[in-house]
Structure 1
Amino acid sequence: MQFRVLGPLEVIRDGTPVELRGTKQRGTLGFLLLQANRVVPTSWLLNALWPDDNAPTTARKILQNAVYGLRGVLFSSPDSASGAATLLTRPPGYMMRVAPEQVDLHLFHQWVAQGREKRAQGAPAEAAVLLRDALDLWRGSALADLVEAGIEWPELASLQNTRLDVMEDYFDAQLDCGRHHAVLAELETMVAAEPLRERSCGQLMLALYRCGRQADALSVFSRVRSLLIENLGLEPGHGLQQLQRAILTQDPLLSLDAGPVVAAPPRAETVRDLTVPAPKADEETVHTGPVRTGLSLVETGRAPVRAETRAPAREDVVVQDVQDTAMQRRPVGVMSVRTQLPPSLGDGSGGVDDLMDAAATVVREQVERHGGMVTASMGSVSQALFGLDGPGDGGADQAVLAALAIRDALDGSGGSGPGAVPLSVHAAVMTGEVLLRYSGKGDAPAAVGAVLDESRSLLADVPAGQVLASDAVRRATENTVAYRRGQARPSEWFAVGRRTTLREVGQEPDTGYELDLLCGLVKRSRDRAIPHMVTVLGESGAGKSHLLREFGRRLDARAGRGTVLAGATPATPTEHPLKAQAQILAAHCGIRPGDDPQSVRSALTDQVRFLFPSGRRARWILSCLEPLLGPQDDAASAGVPVSKTLAAWRDFFQEVAQHRPVVLCIDDLHRADTGVLDIVENLAESAGPVPLFVVASAGPELLLRRPSWGGGKSQATIVTLGRTEETTTGGLLAEFLRSAAPERMPSISGGRAV
């Protein structure tokens, strides 16, 4: 029996096609063949057959019927007794056990690997034959019949990219053999269909040049450069640019007599290969895919060099030409702020320079604390963008709140007396669309857009100590910020301050600035992959739980459901001591109260097997965490020590953070057992460089139990809620200068620097 997935799905028995009925039956078989000899969880199959959470309530029953039908159709003949191909039930799903040579996908990968090995050994003619045979296995798009029925699996896109990569390997082998005329037509067809693949464009340029068509070769470069700039804002890679220069100078290294040209890799986005060859029928482990060899024009900064000898391909190294620049059009919030001194102080004294430098530092810190980024700063004017990495809502709330925080921290225009700082703050906030160009990881993007100039021009109309907002900003933030209408123009609005949130009875404590601090720290943890723990301390009624709730709501609004995983420490001895850890684990696995034990186990098993490929490690984690999600009586009688459960819980979420940012919230931590405190206190410190953010609320009793809580840890912060003392703007800025540069701090008195 032969299984063909490189084209419409076909099953051939004794030269005769086997009839498969229904899209669900064909889809089940196709997905299992893509993962041949691997256990495929039932949840994966359900998501493949019913994407976007559209599965009916009877989905599992439909899947079981499809499997039953496949077993009856495929394995009812006498030859099925030999065990050549079998559809097995293996927890947590199914496995298609089949001899690799019976699946055309495996033959494709096998012949490709052999062809690449031959080319690496300096035998391009033999490599071309093997690669051609592999490409001839394709009868159209992979699982074309399922694609026509609406199936869109990432594995199929990966297979198509692999096919294109192999075609480029084949062209390289043919060019090495001097058969540029033979592949010219195929290259032109491929470049027309995939105009942004630089490797095949370079191959076409080289083939045209060797055919004596130098002008056409340069025309190909011009076309691909125009497409890259217009569609992506990118210049061609260094390898393609070097090839163009070599053609312009008619470099002799491009000729056949000079030997083959060492090749350069395609861009990183075309290198990924998610589909891997099937393991042997008696194996159930996961194998990695074949490693590409046969790169196209090395990025050396010089003209292409001759490959006098070929070194064997190294399977542990894959060279990638990564483009560090990218452009993106995005709605953002734009804040422009001017920190201005009176003209009488503009005498160029060092004290004034220190004051302005300290003010600029305060501006930058407040912007970053509110989730923004300063993208331009000149003299006394700074400009910042907000909403660069949120859900696309423009970041108006953060921009206005940052402007208010800067005004409250720095503005002294209305002050008098010996402690007043003669510094005025003018701020303007707008929203609009800008074009962002990122030049490198971690660098501020260069921004272009009319809204940037409009925001700066508004500063001339802003009185000292005021934050001017456009009408669009006011409408987007009126639930968060209080405004008053301007007198000069009806469309002018001035931000007065943050609105407070009222309970049905009484008023919640104002924790706005602490909330902004938490959001800034979680953004830092996510962007820089730095684990961090924040402990919020306060007496009962200080607003600790309210702060955690608002923090969760804000993050969920920005990044979607499931961003924050929260749990509450038990309030009575009768509750399970690991109640908070159980709630957090259940939230991560998507387990709801009332779910049956089989569904709970299945959800937990899927997550554990995904995070821990090692069977032994996965079994240990699963055995320790299962009692945590069961009924309390079952958990107590499971015989698993609490210390082991906590250790497994810690390892689980530290591993989750390796794959995506994680935010854990634990309320009333001061009530927790000693073992829980030990785990939570060191959770971030022991996680390594991952975006794991832990925030816990606690009463002052925590410091009585653990006086050194958080002390001496670089990745820990303690925030205390309580009554705050008023600090004058002059005192705040002077204190900042004293701590930042005590040897250069000016004395400021009576509005004049001494």
Structure 2
Amino acid sequence: MRFNLLGPLEAVRDGRPVPLGGANQRAALGFLLLHAGAVVSTGDLIRALWDDPPPPTARKMVQNAVAGVRRALPAGGSAALLTAPPGYLLRVDPDRIDATRFHALVERGRADFRAEAWEPAARRLREALALWRGPALADVAEAGAAWPELTVLEEARFAALEDCLEAELALGRHHELIGEMTSLADEDPVRERLCGLLMLAFYRAGRQRDALAAYQRLRGLLRDGFGLDPAPALRELERDILNQHPRLTLRPAPARPGTGGASIRAACAGSAAPPARTPAARTGGAPARVPDARADSPARPLAERKRASVLLVRTRVDVLHGDSECVDEALDDLARVIAEEARRFGGAVRETLGSVRPVVYGFPHSHEDDPERAARTALAVRERVDGRVLDFLGVQIAIATGEILATYRDERDPVPAQLSGTVPHTAERLLAHTRPGTVRVCHATARAVGMPPLPLGDCPSAGDVPAECGRELVLPAPAPAAPDGAPLLGRERELEVLRGVLGDVHRRQRPHLVTVFGEPGLGKSRLVAEFAAGVPGPVLFGRVPRHGGGDLALLAGALRSRPDGAEAARRIERLPVEAGAAAWRRHVADLAMDGPVTVVLEDVHRAGAALQDQVEDLTEQLPEVPLLVVVTARPELRRRAVPWGCGRRDVSELALDPLPEDATRALLPASADPTLLMLVGGNPRHAEEYARAVRGHAGDAYDGAYDGAPVPGPLRALVAARIDTLALPERAVLRDATVFQRLGFRAEGVAALSGRPAAETAAVLRDLERQGFLARRPVGDGGEPGYAFRQPIVREVAHAQIPRARRIAKHRRAIEWIGTLPPAEAGLLVHHYRLLVVLNSPRLAYDTSRQAHHALLAAERRAAAAGAHEVAARCRHAALELRRGRSRPTPAWAAFHRPLPRRADDPTLAAYT
């Protein structure tokens, strides 16, 4: 027997419809089918069949309806309705329900969509949409049922339709789609993604006026009805249409990669990378741009030095096994597996050249755990292909991690045009020594993923590590968290706030949502753990996985933290986001009926937009029960189109500030240099990493700014990932600001370095201030308005990402700008001339020192003539130091300072494009 929910309710047996009885019986069967395989309580059935208040005989009427459903189901058939306290359980093969088949086809189509396999994606999504015969459970809904599950089904249908339309647009079918899309837009005129697709179809069909009219219509509806503007991506699409930007033209489908001997480095190039897409309004393969960048602005090349991991997968075909078609299908299957796993773990798949497929982690955005992401991708790929394609394909995988120099032709480009470094060479050499079916990693990757260190005699020497020294990848088992007996320092006020909110929840018997915001490492998890340890009653803990995991992993993890929650968690994970969140709310509300419950949901900033919306609406959707939900998140959660928690009842925020100096000092060893207090900046995680470095466990140390201190590897990755949350122009301005002294800088100086207009630079600096990177501070002896870095360690990491040659150029531009200032500010030259001497190669150091000596003496004379005698003395002292070859003193933390090679002409350095 088959059941059809996507339209009027039908039960079909042997090709003939089965009579289902009256309205109550049909509604009961429809609700049970929506929850097939799960126990539905009698109370839920009563609420589904009748509005409040239900009739006095509702329970008896439900029993009669269930009896009628049992009579309609064949005895001993594929479907059975069982009594299971506190209600009923409909046991049926999921494949016999059309809604389940719809979801399965959509998931397969979306997998092809994510892999940009447009033809199979469109075909499977159209096959899924063909199952619909009208509104879901149209006859039941017509009788008055308004179930959330029906809304979820309709939204899933519309989302699948939008994905299908986008895939067909990428195939060049814009002329055929305009009629269908126009009708859909009339049906739901404020759906922004659909409007963006319609605009793109009109533009590609040569109807630019209609494209702009569609946008104007949507904007008018949003402003008149909701007081909102269209999403930034949609406004960007309108600007591109007005400017007839080439990125909107249809791109030809890429040819199938050949098997020639092209270089692997060419496959890793940014120009071969698939274009990025914005989730709000995808543009059919058009690369994403910075929303505020003007299409007619001049190109601004950009270069950045970052740490990245390169994963290479090579296939060796056994020509004696199988025919060509069989091998070709297996290669396609392998390519799909690699693409799916790479996207799951945040990697960028590059174009295949020959038998090698590269995946890059760290570009265009880095994460604090890129080596681990690459390692887990490799193991997942090997596991998925192990039992299917290794019979006639040998799969070798290698991973290398190191510094890479990325060059962008323009700061609006989504991916770099060229990547340079030794990492691809190392990955190639590792691949040559990798046996089929194994994964080989370099020593930097092994150290980053937590593999045990090699014996002292087997440790690699400094410099380039021979490929023979690579190691087979074995991820260590996660160690159980050790109990932390140390007292919580400097968070007494925050603890009292959380305890006060908990008291309000107990007194008012109403749910409340508290969001704890804080930069990485400020101790959000430590705070909520300390709070939860003293909470009476049950506490549920959930965390968004850093990579992998489903959309509902956060909520399912919270249920699994209870001994009896595993089965409920499994049921929720199989549902779409909205239905799963609704089921989760019912579950925790039932728990709270027996007494106060606390739920802790961590790292919500990593969750998808749909799940974030569900968490944000918890207090609106939950009944009046004593439930406290504590959410932890980084500040990027506030950068949503609509501010987090805006307009919701019973919602509050708690922002963590850096620790006071006495609490920070207690986290550092007594022997630590006092200057480390400035670098730590009141961040407990920063203090922990620097404490390890001082104790001699620096591991992967990393050089920071040339006038600053090194940054331990794990801490550098954490800060770099935070910097990468910025758009490329914001990153460029932030790095330009690091060229000036740590005491502060002015907007006009930063503008002089990049050549951008002063107004544009000032606007970007204000944005960086709002995002917590900068703070306003008077600069210079005159107290002119300026900025300084809120956390010195951000300056260290951002400055180290500027290539050496560009640092030299920026210091020279800064010197030119200072030359336009009054003589009393000539002291600013000292900082830049000192670093010019440090940065230049040894063969140029003498000439640079001599030039700096003469320039500072000239600055001394100008300052003395203007009466600025202190500035004149500072310039003269620096000129004498530089002439004698002393540019700056050695910092006290140099004991764990292991700088990277700085010579750009190093013969081991290679470029790949």
TM-score by length of 2: 0.34
